[in-house]
């Protein structure tokens, strides 16, 4: 299956009442691990890159690594997604690189730290949609802000999504997917105690916007067994705490169709590498520690795909291109 717009995956997830995992990448081993899991689970997948990842990989490298993943896995529907785009220029860059989906995080200013007003968010989101939609590219937006900071993104303050504003925002943008703030947080230290998430907000927003795919950011569960491996082999991750998978699964019936996972993958990779360094200090070939890291990430991602309900659904996805999506939006008067 060719590279597909993310909207195709979200619509299929709605039909099947599951969520698609969106996994952040920075290098070859991460992409290989994610695709190995997708093959094993026969799951659709969203591979996403932040601005930081694009900068780290010098843009063109990550593009071709993603395209290689698609070429090697013709039976797996894959969307290439920009995570937390901060401006129209960033969106244009990603689309120019071949991304089939973009997120504009208009909840924050271009510094990715300062919260915007509702009107500012609406303005930048509309401008991104005006540019991306005629090209068939899926657009995700965000309303409200998460706690924590990761990859330079975040205000550090939680502002829960207002259902009234969500309804108005979608009516004025017709955005494909909306990331909502319900108390989740970026990073490995999301909560000082057991999380108190506003899960009812998801239900209310879904009641008002049943046709809009909802997205959960800051949703890594920070598995304790992975944290223990990091700490056992010299790491220092005291009091790391994430979002329980039970909470994430509970809102999938309420319209959550995309769940972002980044921190969990970082922890799995770090633990595997630390273990090799501690147990085999004579090793110096990068392959000796990157392969276990890749395997650890693949196992993590496969588990996420099962728990989100996406496993087994790859063969059900209708193959559509950006050209097909152009017609889709035109026929519905959305361009």
Q: Which residues are catalytic?
A: 83
Closest CA to 81 of 5, 194, 193: 5
Q: Which two tokens stand for residue 23?
A: 């996994």
Strands (E), the chain: 20-24, 45-50, 78-85, 101-104, 138-143, 177-180, 213-216, 256-261
For residues 307 and 272, give the distance between their C-alpha atoms in angstroms, rounded to a whole number: 22
What is the pairing mode between strands 20-24 and 177-180?
A: unpaired
The separation between the first and the last C-alpha atoms of the chain, rounded to the nearest angstrom, is 26
For residues 268 and 264, give the distance between their C-alpha atoms in angstroms, rounded to a whole number: 6
DSSP string, 36-68: HHHHHHT--EEEEEEHHHHHHTTTHHHHHHHHH
For residues 217 and 112, give the distance between their C-alpha atoms in angstroms, rounded to a whole number: 15
Q: Which two tokens stand for residue 182?
A: 């319900």
Q: Which two tokens stand for residue 113?
A: 């730290």
Query: Who contacts 312 (Cβ-Cβ below 8 Å, separation ≥6)?
Result: 41, 42, 43
Closest CA to 216 of 194, 186, 174: 186
């Amino acid at each position: 299956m060719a590279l597909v717009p993310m909207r195709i995956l979200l619509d299929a997830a709605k039909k099947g009442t599951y969520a698609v995992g969106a996994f952040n990448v920075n290098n070859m081993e991460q992409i290989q691990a994610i695709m190995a899991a997708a093959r094993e689970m026969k799951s659709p997948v969203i591979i996403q890159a932040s601005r930081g990842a694009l900068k780290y990989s010098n843009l063109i490298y990550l593009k071709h690594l993603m395209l290689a993943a698609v070429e090697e896995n013709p039976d797996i529907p894959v969307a290439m997604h920009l995570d937390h785009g901060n401006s129209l220029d960033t969106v244009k860059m990603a689309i120019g690189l071949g991304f089939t989906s973009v997120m504009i995080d208009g909840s924050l200013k271009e510094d990715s730290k300062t919260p915007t007003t509702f009107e500012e968010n609406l303005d930048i989101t509309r401008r991104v949609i005006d540019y991306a939609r005629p090209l068939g590219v899926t657009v995700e937006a965000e309303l409200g802000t998460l706690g924590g900071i990761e990859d330079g993104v975040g205000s550090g303050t939680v502002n829960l999504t207002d259902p009234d504003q969500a309804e108005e925002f979608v009516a004025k943008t017709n955005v494909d997917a909306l990331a909502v703030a319900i108390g989740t947080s970026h990073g490995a230290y999301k909560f000082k105690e057991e999380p108190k998430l506003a899960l009812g907000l998801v239900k209310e927003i879904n009641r008002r916007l049943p046709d809009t795919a909802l997205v959960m950011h800051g949703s890594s569960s920070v598995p304790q067994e992975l944290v223990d491996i990091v700490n056992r082999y010299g790491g220092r991750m005291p009091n790391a705490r994430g979002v329980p998978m039970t909470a994430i699964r509970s809102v999938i019936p309420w319209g959550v169709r995309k769940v972002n996972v980044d921190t969990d993958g970082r922890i799995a990779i770090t633990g595997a590498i630390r273990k090799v360094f501690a147990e085999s200090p004579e090793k110096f070939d990068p392959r000796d520690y990157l392969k276990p890291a890749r395997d650890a990430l693949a196992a993590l991602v496969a588990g996420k795909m099962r728990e989100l309900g996406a496993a087994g659904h790859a063969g059900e996805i209708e193959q559509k291109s950006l050209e097909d999506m152009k017609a889709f939006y035109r026929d519905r008067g959305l361009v």
